[in-house]
Structure 1
Amino acid sequence: MGSIWELDFYSRPILDANQKKVWEILVCESPVDVRTKTDSLFRYAQYCPSTQVNSVWLRTALEEAINKAGEAPIKIRFFRRQMNNMITKACQDAGIPALPSRRALVLNQWLQQRMEEVYPQELGYQGEANPSVRLDRPLPQRLPDALEGKQWAFVTLEAKDFVDMPDWEIAFGEAFPLELAQLSPEIRIPGILIFSPRALPIAGWMSGLEMAYLRFDTSQGDRLILETGATESWVLANIRTPQLLKEAQGFEETKQKANGVHFIGVQSDPQVQSFSGFWLLQEVSL
């Protein structure tokens, strides 16, 4: 399997000699399991003059990144929805699928690090925040009937339990090194396990969604919401009993203590040792 890249192309808090915002492309490799060493992941950065912000410049920069990496990724993730057309066009012209995704954990940390340590050293640094444009998100969708689990449960594992995750039998899934979240080995990580005779089709469907994170939502009743892609969300479960409400609140509290880290597992029944799907997730602000 080839690598997956995370990409950002946006203006930075730096002005050029003409008092125009400097733009920048950032590309980094996505980790795919818990044993990945983050300092070994490929990274590429290049500033772009405001007069050259277009899909042609971006494609050229991507091709340079590919040359430096030695191979093209199998897909590229990006989280800025307002840049959708330009990024998608540049990636397509470079022959790489581009997918809107909030699963950009390495990129998010890299951006924060550059905001604190790199951009302030640049001539023309402005020192103010450089927020992304906020766009409305659609309402959560109802899961297709065929994809609803027959049973599910809240569970927790210690961070150290994930060390052996690459050795688990998992048909579909993805993970990341917990060093990204700076968690101690003993901290509890919450999650849910979904059980269904149709576990494999459910996991296969989830694998195509660019899984982002789970959240407990109380805005329109008590619900577990699965966030996917750049904007999509799905009602994974309705919380209907006081006991489940207490467990859902505990899930959210434990998730916050674990710096947003949590997981989803899909199995055919509670007795099996294998997983049809397993995703290690982290809720971050992008």
Structure 2
Amino acid sequence: MTTATAIVAGHGLALRRSLHLSKPSCATFSARALPLPPAANCCRTVVAAATPSSRTCRCRSVSSESSTAAASDTTDEEEEEEEMDPLAEVCYLDPEADAEGIREWELDFCSRPILDARGKKVWELVVCDATLSLQFTRFFPNTSINSVTLRDALASVATSLGVPLPDRARFFRSQMQTIISRACNELGVKAVPSRRCVSLLLWLEERYETVYSRHPGFQSGTKPLLTLDNPFPTSLPENLFGDKWAFVQLPFSAVREEVESLERRYAFGAGLDLDLLGFELDENTLIPGVAVESSRAKPLAAWMNGLEICSMEVDTGRANLILSAGVSTRYVYAGYQKSAATTQEAEAWEAAKKACGGLHFLAIQENLNSDGCVGFWLLLDLPPPPV
């Protein structure tokens, strides 16, 4: 049994108060949790805040690497200007990457804060994979925004880079679901609405600074045309309820171990490329998470696996735990009896998550005292992209 499993299972000091899952009414948010177990029957610890310097370096794309190289090359101004050209489009495949092994893409098709010669907003297609081994961008006039244009552009990604079309393509804008789904379906690609497009979201943030803001048509202060949805939480489907849940913590080293062994040990779950995301945390920094106990843990993990879970948060005002999935789905995952003590614990959990750069996790177990997990999801809070 690994250290990570032991702590999630509650054998270490990381296990916090164990609460029975409730089914709060979505309309009133009145938590109907069972009473908290007596203090003598639960392990009480305080969620330790992580070192604030959680993520000092984010994803490295071709544009950022080119900018760095150009800045250091003072002997060839023409080459520097070419490298920094905000009008240039990206078509890149890491020569060391296994092209056949890139089976999932992340894509965005939306307007940018840039005006063309007609004074109209420019649109852009941005495509990458989770490791940024594949990167592709192309600008479009606003008169050619349809599923046919997108379908042909996606097909050109494969032909230009010599890679097969992916099995799945994730996207995070719900407003573009019809166009993206239609284009992908015609190519035999499954379109997956999901905010687990972490590499894409960070790359867009970087491109705002290194490309869009330097474009001659850039419009400062322009708000995104298609903002991300943040709907009112709805009731959790009956098949997604567990029996109990607990706030837990894992050392950063143990989280790495869980992610590295995810495919080998668990049939269900999802990780993140912590090296690519540039997390610089001490190995002993405690990462906050939620552990769920269920007598039907495997079916529960299987259902959860199809949700594209992206984050969890605590609504301390209504004493609810909120689960976000897909691109615009939010569930009232659980409730607890509100008191000064439980509010303090929930706030400490949220503070620990913020100190870790938004990193947290969800673990599903057959028993909170068992030796392993049935499913493990590494999650990350990210602000919406600036475009």
Q: Structures share a fold, TM > 0.5?
A: yes
Q: 1:18 pairs with 118, 121, 126, which one?
A: 118
The aligned residue for residue 174 of structure 1 is 270
Quote the residue 1:50 is aligned against.
Answer: 142
1:4 is aligned to 2:104: yes
Q: Secondary structure at the match of 1:270?
A: coil
Between the aligned partners of 2:279 and 2:238, the Cα distance in structure 1 is: 38
Give the Cα separation in 1 of the matches to 2:335 and 2:321. 6
Identify the residue that residue 34 of structure 1 maps to in structure 2: none
The equivalent position to 1:224 in structure 2, one of 315, 321, 341, is 321
Equivalent residue for 1:85, pick from 178, 186, 196: 178
Give % identity: 39
Q: Contact 1:227–1:233 (CA<8 Å) still a contact in 2?
A: yes
252 and 132 in structure 1: CA distance in 2 versus 1, 3 angstrom threshold: farther
Farther-moved stretch of structure 1 (93-102 vs 256-265): 93-102
How far apart in 1 are the matches of 2:278 and 2:346? 22
Give the letter for the 1:176 counterpart: L
CA distance in 2: counterparts of 1:48 and 1:171, whole angstroms: 41
Spell out, residue by residue over 1:237-271, the C-alpha distance to the aligned partner (whole angstroms, 9 max, x if none): 10215344332221111111111110000011134
In structure 1, the gaps of 5 or more residues are 31-37
User: Are residues 48 and 149 of structure 1, via their aligned partners in 2, closer, same or farther at CA, if it must alter by over 3 Å?
Assistant: same
Conserved? CA contact 1:147–1:201, under 8 Å: no
Q: 1:105 aligns with which of 195, 198, 201?
A: 198
Give the structure 1 partner of residue 43 of structure 2: none
**Once the 2 structures are TM-superposed, how far is the Cα of residue 62 of structure 1 from its aligned partner?**
0.6
The answer for the alignment partner of 2:55 in structure 1 is none
Distance 1:249 1:228 in 2: 22
Residues 17 and 231 of structure 1: is their aligned pair in 2 closer, same or farther, counting only changes over 3 Å? same
1:65 aligns with 2:157: yes
Match of 1:207 in 2: 305
Contact in 2 for aligned 1:159/1:183 (Cα 8 Å): no
Partner secondary structure for residue 208 of structure 2: helix
2:387 matched to 1:256? no
1:128 aligned residue: 221
Say if 1:232 and 1:29 are closer, same or farther in 2 by CA, change over 3 A: same
**Shift of the alpha carbon at 1:138?**
4.2
Partner of 1:95 in structure 2? 188
Change (3 A) 1:56 1:279: same
CA separation in 2, counterparts of 1:93 and 1:264? 35
Q: How many angstroms apart in 1 are the aligned matches of 2:225 and 2:366?
A: 41
Residue 115 (1) aligns with residue 213 (2): no
SS at match of 2:205: helix
1:244–1:66 distance in 2 versus 1, CA, 3 Å? farther
Write the deviation string for residues 170-193 of structure 1: whole angstroms up to 9, x where unpaired.
Answer: 120111122416331343210011
**Greater radius of gyration (CA):** 2
Equivalent in the alignment of 1:33: none
| Preserved contact between residue 25 and residue 46 of structure 1 (Cα < 8 Å) | yes
The letter of the residue matching 1:229 is G
Equivalent pair of 2:316/2:347 in contact (CA under 8 Å): no
1:158 and 1:135 mapped to 2: Cα distance? 32
Deviations 1:98-154 (A, max 9, x none): 122111111111001100011233232223334143476543232233432112111
- CA distance in structure 2 between the partners assigned to 1:276 and 1:261 by the alignment: 20
Tell me how far apart the structure 2 counterparts of residues 111 and 119 of structure 1 sit (CA, whole Å).
Answer: 10
For the residue of structure 1 that corresponds to 2:364, the secondary structure is strand
TM-score, scaled relative to structure 2: 0.67
CA RMSD in angstroms comes to 2.0
Question: Is residue 159–residue 178 contact of structure 1 (8 Å, CA) maintained in 2?
Answer: no
Measure, in 2, the Cα distance between the counterparts of 1:256 and 1:69. 41
Question: Do structure 1's residue 27 and structure 2's residue 136 form an aligned pair?
Answer: no
Q: Which secondary structure does the structure 2 equivalent of 1:92 belong to?
A: helix
Q: Which moved more, 1:253-262 or 1:71-80?
A: 71-80
Task: Provide the rounded CA distance (Å) in 2 between the counterparts of 1:69 and 1:159.
Answer: 38
Higher relative contact order (CA 8 A, sep 6+): 2
The CA distance in 2 between the partners of 1:136 and 1:211, in whole Å, is 15
The 8 Å contact of residues 181 and 261 in structure 1, kept in 2 or not, is answered as: no
Q: Which residue of 2 aligns with 1:237?
A: 334
Relative to structure 1, the CA distance from residue 211 to residue 135 in structure 2 (aligned partners, 3 Å threshold; closer, same or farther) is closer
Shift of 1:96: 1.0
Kept in 2, the 8 Å contact 1:197–1:268? The answer is yes
Post-superposition offset of 1:25: 0.4
Give the match for residue 35 of structure 1.
none
Aligned to 1:275, the other structure's residue is in SS state coil
